Amino acid sequence: MLHQLNERTNNETSSYVLATTVLKAFHMLEYIAAHQPVSPSSISKGLELTRANVHRLLATLVSAGYVEKWEQGYGLTFKLFQLASTVPLNKSLRDVAKPAMNELEQIAHENIYLNVLSEDMVLAIDEVKSAHHVILNPDVTYSYPVNSCASGKLLLSHYSDEQLRGYLSEIPMRERTSRTILEREEFIRAVRSAQGKGYSTEILEFSDDLNSVAAPIIDVEGTVIATISISGPSMRLTEARIMDLVQPLMQAARRITERVAENTRSSFRPSR
């Protein structure tokens, strides 16, 4: 926790006066993360800060893009995730997946994404851009409501029906287009269909001009830990083209899954 910084006595901190405003800002981010959406008065009471302090810090964090105003209060943005995606755990997964992603782009000639689940959102933690002149811009959106994308159906596929209903009862079903699945039982059927096929499609569900197809990356315990997906403009990545790409996509996912298993086994291999 951040408050432990005050207890450290090594040379990194003992020679300097800590920047208390920075610490307050991080404490605020932690508080918002635990209680979002949260009102300024709640933050003021929870962190024992003056209202002026809270509003000044909130304005700063909103301006920096880490906090946003929701209808019911303040919440975090996914800019924090973009920072977190550089940590070694995600880097190791990206390193394992990258060769297969590059090979798949050479076949599909569309954007290739590596995706993980974070609460009720699917996050793209890595991408290989298509060489096409007309492409999707991965810098615009890195996050997708779980009910609106191909990867969301697969990332929930290892849940039991009971777990899935419990999960879905606690999240909003966000509408992105007229084709986004909003009814929870219908979404459960889509999850089970994806589980049975070993891949999942997204036809105009997130965007009116986007289609995608995804395949699961599975750990040694059988949990879907990530997906690899192909996304492209619907005028080019048609449903017929998607079906042509299903097999190379699934083969890429299997190669990544095998490498994840190899890395897991090697990490537990006794030293000699």
Rounded to an integer, what distance in angstroms lies between the CA atom of residue 45 and that of residue 116?
A: 35
SS3 152: helix
Q: What is the pLDDT of residue 201?
A: 97
Q: What is the pLDDT of residue 263?
A: 79
Quick one: CA torsion of 146, 151, 154, 155, rounded to 10 degrees? -60
Q: In the chain, which stretches have pLDDT less than 50?
A: 1-14, 135, 137-141, 268-272
- Other Cβ atoms less than 10 A from the Cβ of 25: the count is 20
Q: What is the pLDDT of residue 139?
A: 41
Q: What is the pTM of this model?
A: 0.68
How many CA atoms lie less than 13 Å away from 68 in the CB half-sphere? 8
Q: What is the pLDDT of residue 145?
A: 92
- Give the length of the chain: 272
Rounded to an integer, what distance in angstroms lies between the CA atom of residue 157 and that of residue 5?
A: 40
2-77: CATH number: 1.10.10.10
Q: Taking Cα atoms as reference points, which of 195, 194, 199, 251 lies closest to residue 222?
A: 195
Q: What is the pLDDT of residue 24?
A: 87
SS3 76: strand
Name the segment(s) of the chain with CATH classification 3.30.450.40: 83-267
Top CATH class, 83-267: alpha beta
List, in sequence order, every beta strand (DSSP E) within 133-250: 143-145, 200-203, 210-218, 224-233
Q: What is the pLDDT of residue 14?
A: 47
Name the segment(s) of the chain with CATH classification 1.10.10.10: 2-77
